[in-house]
Amino acid sequence: MTPTEDRLIQECQQKAPIDITGLATKLGLSVYETYDLPSGISGKISRDSTSDSPSGYRISINATEPYRRRRFTIAHECAHYLIHRTKIGDELTDDALYRSEKLDSREEFEANNLAADLLMPKLLVAKSIREGFSSISALANVFEVSEPAMRVRMRYLYQGEY
């Protein structure tokens, strides 16, 4: 990740919920919701031959999936762009469990962790808790993520207190 990309991320993490599509756009990624992805495929990042994306890559999201899952998928694909850019090639497709044939489980774990950090940054989570949003459900609503995603994030941030 470059210093410029890090600065863009910090700028987008000033309030919850994070505008993840706006962040992707600032990173130079075009985001498209599509009904063309097969069932069981959440999203993909691919080279953009239309020149619509300044970065040269586009994110395609399965429009049939729930809103909060689509948000996480966008974050996950942004994470691949930020940390696995050299491995994307022409296309990197992630199934519903965020697994790809091109990457190993460690790399998918890295992308999931960064996606969680993009959507649920530690400082904003702590601020929300101080403001009284202490249950998993309430926090999931504040950050517009699924309850399972928030539960995993809280366990990671607070070492099992949640």
Could you give the domains of the chain? Answer: 3-158 (1.10.10.2910)
Contact (Cβ atoms closer than 8 angstroms) between residue 70 and residue 62: yes
The model's pLDDT over 4-49, given as tens digits with 9 standing for 90+, comes to 999 999 999 999 999 999 999 999 999 999 999 998 899 999 999 8
- The reported pLDDT for the residue numbered 50 is 79
Helix, strand, coil share of the chain (percent; to 5): 50, 15, 35
Say if residue 95's pLDDT is above 80. Answer: no
Place of tokens 């702590």: 126
The model's pLDDT over 122-147, given as tens digits with 9 standing for 90+, comes to 999 999 999 999 899 999 999 999 99
Say if residue 97's pLDDT is above 80. Answer: no
- The reported pLDDT for the residue numbered 68 is 97
Place of tokens 């403001």: 131
- The reported pLDDT for the residue numbered 90 is 87
Give the separation between CA 110 and CA 98, rounded to whole angstroms. 11
- The reported pLDDT for the residue numbered 43 is 94
Give the separation between CA 48 and CA 18, rounded to whole angstroms. 25
Say if residue 102's pLDDT is above 80. Answer: no
- The reported pLDDT for the residue numbered 161 is 65
Query: Given phi > 0 = left and psi -120 to 50 = alpha, else beta, which region is 141?
Result: alpha
Average pLDDT value for the chain: 92
How far is the first Cα of the chain from the last one, in angstroms, to the nearest whole number? 30
CA distances from residue 96 to 29, 30, 40, 59, 124 in whole angstroms, order as listed:
21, 21, 5, 15, 27
DSSP 84: H
CA nearest to 33, candidates 58, 57, 53, 63: 63
Say if residue 110's pLDDT is above 90. Answer: yes
- The reported pLDDT for the residue numbered 106 is 87
- The reported pLDDT for the residue numbered 9 is 97
158: amino acid identity, one letter:
Y
Contact (Cβ atoms closer than 8 angstroms) between residue 83 and residue 110: yes
Give the separation between CA 72 and CA 49, rounded to whole angstroms. 25
